[in-house]
Amino acid sequence: MAQNRVYIENLSQYIGQEITLNGWLYNKRSSGKIRFLLLRDGTGIVQCVMAKGHIPDDVFAKFDQLTQESAFSISGKVKKDERSPGGHEIDLTDVQVISVAHEYPITPKEHGVEFLADRRHLWLRSSRQHAIMRVRHRIIKAIRDFFDGRGFTLIDAPILTPNAVEGTTTLFDTEYFDLGKAFLTQSGQLYGEAGAMAFGKIYCFGPTFRAEKSKTRRHLTEFWMVEPEMAFYDLNDDMDLAEEFLEHIVQTVLKDCEPELKVLERNTAMLQNVKRPLPRISYDEAVEILHKKGLQFEWGGDLGAPDETAISEQFDRPVMVHRYPAKVKAFYMKRDPKNAELALAVDVLAPEGYGEIIGGSQREDDLDKLLERIKEHNLPQAAFEWYLDLRRYGSVPHAGFGLGVERTVAWICGLDHVRETIPFPRMIYRLTP
Amino acid sequence: MAQNRVYIENLSQYIGQEITLNGWLYNKRSSGKIRFLLLRDGTGIVQCVMAKGHIPDDVFAKFDQLTQESAFSISGKVKKDERSPGGHEIDLTDVQVISVAHEYPITPKEHGVEFLADRRHLWLRSSRQHAIMRVRHRIIKAIRDFFDGRGFTLIDAPILTPNAVEGTTTLFDTEYFDLGKAFLTQSGQLYGEAGAMAFGKIYCFGPTFRAEKSKTRRHLTEFWMVEPEMAFYDLNDDMDLAEEFLEHIVQTVLKDCEPELKVLERNTAMLQNVKRPLPRISYDEAVEILHKKGLQFEWGGDLGAPDETAISEQFDRPVMVHRYPAKVKAFYMKRDPKNAELALAVDVLAPEGYGEIIGGSQREDDLDKLLERIKEHNLPQAAFEWYLDLRRYGSVPHAGFGLGVERTVAWICGLDHVRETIPFPRMIYRLTP
For A126-154, the pLDDT digits (tens) are 999 999 999 999 999 999 999 999 999 99
Distance CA A212, CA A170 (A): 5
* Least confidently predicted of A264-268, B28-32, B151-155, B162-166: B162-166
DSSP H or E segment with residue A174 = strand A173-175
Helix (H, G, I), strand (E, B) or coil at A204: strand
Is pLDDT at A167 greater than 90 in this prediction?
A: no
Using CB atoms within 10 A of its CB, is residue A64 exposed (0-12), middle (13-18) or buried (19+)?
exposed
Is the distance from CB of B371 to CB of B213 less than 8 angstroms? no
**Cβ A237 vs Cβ B2: under 8 Å:** yes
| DSSP run (H or E) holding B63 | helix B62-65
Is the CB of B2 less than 8 angstroms away from the CB of A237?
A: yes
Looking at the complex, report in whole angstroms how far the Cα of residue A303 sits from the nearest Cα belonging to chain B: 27
- CB neighbours of B344 closer than 8 A, spacing ≥ 6? B234, B235, B322, B323, B333, B334, B335, B336, B361, B362, B399
Task: From chain B, pick out residues whose CB is under 8 angstroms from the CB of A198.
Answer: 42, 124-125, 129-130, 133
Asked, as a colleague might, if the bond just before B433 is cis with ω within 30 of 0, I would say yes
Q: Is the CB of A160 less than 8 angstroms away from the CB of B222? A: yes
User: Does the distance separating the beta carbons of B148 and A42 come in below 8 Å?
Assistant: no
Interchain pair A7, B134: CB under 8 A: no
**Which residues on B lie below 8 Å from A130 (Cβ)?**
198-199
- Cβ contacts of B244 on chain A, cutoff 8 Å: 3
CB-based contact B167:B380 (threshold 8 Å): no
Are A206 and B209 within 8 A, CB to CB? no
How many helices (DSSP H) and strands (DSSP E) are in chain B? 14, 17
- From the list A9, A151, A179, the residue facing B43 with the nearest CB is A151
Contact residues, chain B, for A389 at CB < 8 Å: 119, 121-122
CA-based nearest distance B249→chain A, Å: 17
Strand ranges in B210-285 using DSSP code E only, listed in sequence order? 222-231, 280-282
Does the pLDDT value for residue B86 go beyond 90? no
Query: What's residue B305's pLDDT?
Result: 93
CB contact under 8 A, A396 and B196: no
Mutate to test the interface with A, among B219, B393, B419 (most CBs of A within 10 A): B393
Residues 6+ apart with CB under 8 A from A115: none
In this structure, the strands spanning A160-161 and A88-99 are unpaired
| The pLDDT of residue A337 is above 90 | yes
CB pairs under 8 A between A and B: 275
Q: Select from B3, B156, B393 the Cβ nearest to the Cβ of A102.
A: B393
CA A156 to chain centre: 18
Of A119, A153, A395, the CB nearest to B99: A395
CB burial readout B199-238, b (16+ within 10 A) else e: bbbbbbbbbbbbbbeeeeeebbbbbbbbbbbbbbbbbbbb
CA distance linking residue A429 with residue A46, whole number of Å: 38
Could you give the CA distance from residue A383 to residue A371 in angstroms, rounded to a whole number?
A: 12
Q: Tell me phi and psi for residue B250, to 5 degrees.
A: -65, -45
Q: Could you say which DSSP state residue B356 is in?
A: E
What's the pLDDT band for A1 if we cut at 50, 70, 90? very low
Task: Tell me the shortest Cα–Cα distance from B158 to chain A, in angstroms.
Answer: 6
Partner-chain contact B2 A241, CB within 8 Å: yes
- Indicate yes or no: CB of A157 within 8 angstroms of CB of B3: no
Which of B176, B206, B386 comes nearest A431 by C-beta?
B176
| Range of lowest pLDDT (A164-173, A246-255, B2-11, B49-58) | A164-173
> Which residues of chain B make contact with A433, given a CB cutoff of 8 A?
194, 386
Burial of residue A294 (number of CB atoms within 10 Å: 0-12, 13-18, 19+): exposed
| Binary contact (A148, B141; C-beta < 8 A) | yes
A9-13, B89-93, B107-111, B244-248 — which is least confidently predicted?
Answer: B107-111
To the nearest whole angstrom, how far is the Cα of B22 from the nearest Cα of chain A?
7
pLDDT of residue B1: 45
State the average pLDDT over residues A77-102. 94
Residue B316 CB neighbours (<10 A): 13
Are A206 and B207 inside 8 Å of each other by CB?
A: yes
| Most B CBs within 10 Å, among A27, A123, A424, to test the B interface | A424
Report the C-alpha gap between B129 and B421 in whole angstroms: 8
Taking the C-alpha atoms of residue A26 and residue A126, their distance in angstroms, rounded to an integer, is: 9
CB within 8 Å: B160 and A201: no
Which chain B residues are within 8 Å of A172, Cβ to Cβ? 160, 174-176, 182
Say which of A101, A365, A422 has its CB closest to residue B392. Answer: A101
A160, B233: Cβ pair inside 8 Å? no
Radius of gyration for the alpha carbons in chain B, expressed in angstroms and rounded: 26
Backbone region of residue A280 per phi and psi (left: phi > 0; alpha: psi in -120 to 50; beta: other values): beta
Strand partners, A206: A225
Q: In this structure, are strands A153-154 and A201-209 parallel, antiparallel, or unpaired? A: parallel
Q: What is the largest CA-CA distance in chain B?
A: 87
From the list A1, A158, A386, the residue facing B426 with the nearest CB is A158
Length of chain B (residues) = 433
Contacts of A98 in chain B (CB under 8 A): 395-397
More confident residue, A298 or A216: A298
* Phi, psi of A226, deg, nearest 5: -110, 135
With CB atoms and an 8 Å threshold, state whether B422 touches A395: no
Q: With 90 as the cut, is the pLDDT of residue B163 above it?
A: no
C-beta separation of A128 from A253 below 8 A: no
Chain B residues within an 8 Å CB radius of A178: 429
Q: How far apart are CA B22 and CA B145, in angstroms?
A: 32
* Cβ-Cβ contacts under 8 Å, B69 against chain A: 393-394
Q: Report, as an integer, the average pLDDT of A171-177.
A: 95
Measured between beta carbons, the chain A residues lying within 8 angstroms of B134 are 153
Q: List, as one string, the DSSP characters of B170-204.
A: T--EEE-GGG-EEEE-S--HHHHHHHHHHHSEEEE
For the residues B221-246, what does the mean pLDDT come to?
A: 98
**Beta carbons within 8 Å of A371's beta carbon, 6+ residues apart:** A381, A388
Chain B nearest-CA distance from A276, in A, is 14
- Start-to-end CA distance of chain A, whole Å, equals 33
Q: Is the pLDDT of residue A164 over 80?
A: no
Distances (CA, A) of A285 to A301, A350, A352, B187: 14, 17, 20, 48
Cα-based angle B25, B27, B31 (whole degrees, multiple of 5): 120
**What pLDDT shows up at residue B5?**
92
User: Nearest CB to A159: which of B70, B178, B207?
Assistant: B207
Does the beta-carbon distance from A156 to B101 stay under 8 Å? no
Rounded mean pLDDT of chain B? 95
The Cα-based distances of B331 to A1, B166, B347, B393 in angstroms read: 27, 9, 16, 20
Q: Which of A74, A154, A156, A257 to substitute to test the interface with B, most B CBs within 10 Å?
A: A156
**Can you say whether residue B153 is alpha, beta or left, with left for phi > 0 and alpha for psi between -120 and 50 degrees?**
beta
Complete domains list, chain B, with CATH: 2-99 (2.40.50.140), 120-420 (3.30.930.10)
User: Which residues in chain A are contacts of B148 at CB distance < 8 A?
Assistant: 137, 141
Dist. CA A207–CA A187, nearest whole Å? 9
Report pLDDT for B337.
97
- When CB atoms are compared, the residue of A3, A41, A209 closest to B200 is A41
| pLDDT bucket at B164, cuts 50 / 70 / 90 | low
Interface mutation vs chain B, best among A106, A155, A159, most B CBs within 10 Å: A159
- A187-234: pLDDT as tens digits: 999 999 999 999 999 999 999 999 988 888 889 999 999 999 999 999
Q: Which residues are A268's β-sheet partners?
A: none
Q: What is the pLDDT of residue B226?
A: 98
Residue A175 has pLDDT above 50, yes or no: yes
Q: For residue A412, is pLDDT > 90?
A: yes
Measured at the alpha carbon of residue B303, what is the angle toward residues B301 and B304, in degrees to the nearest 5?
A: 115
Q: How far out from the chain centre does Cα A330 lie?
A: 24
Min CA distance, B280 vs chain A (Å)?
Answer: 16
Distance from CA of A384 to the nearest CA of B (A): 9
pLDDT at B165 over 90: no
Rounded to a whole number of angstroms, the distance from the CA of B162 to the nearest CA of chain A is 6
CB atoms within 10 A of CB A27: 14
Q: Looking at chain A, which residue has its C-alpha nearest residue B210?
A: A176
CB-closest option in A198, A207, A209 to B130: A198
Nearest CA among B174, B202, B165, B168 for reference residue A426: B174
For B203, name the nearest residue in chain A, comparing CA atoms only. Answer: A137
Contact between B120 and B235 under an 8 Å Cβ cutoff? The reply is no
What's the predicted TM-score (pTM) here?
Answer: 0.97
pLDDT over 70 at B168, yes or no: no
Contact B368, B334 (CB under 8 A): no
Q: Is residue B254 left, alpha or beta, with left meaning phi > 0 and alpha meaning psi from -120 to 50?
A: alpha
Question: Which residues, listed in sequence order, are joined to residue B349 by a DSSP beta bridge?
Answer: B319, B356
> β-pairing, A18-31 with A398-404?
unpaired
Omega prior to B162 cis, within 30 of 0: no
Contacts of A200 in chain B (CB under 8 A): 7, 23, 41-43
3-state class of B278 per DSSP?
coil
User: How many angstroms separate the CA atoms of A61 and A52, rounded?
Assistant: 9
| C-beta atoms of B153 and A42 within 8 A | yes
Low-confidence winner among A55-64, A343-352, B160-169 (lowest mean pLDDT): B160-169
CB B199 within 8 A of CB B155: yes
Helices (H), A107-148: 113-118, 120-123, 127-148
Of B133, B224, B429, the CB nearest to A155: B133
Q: Which among A77, A62, A67 is positioned nearest to A20, based on CA atoms? A: A77
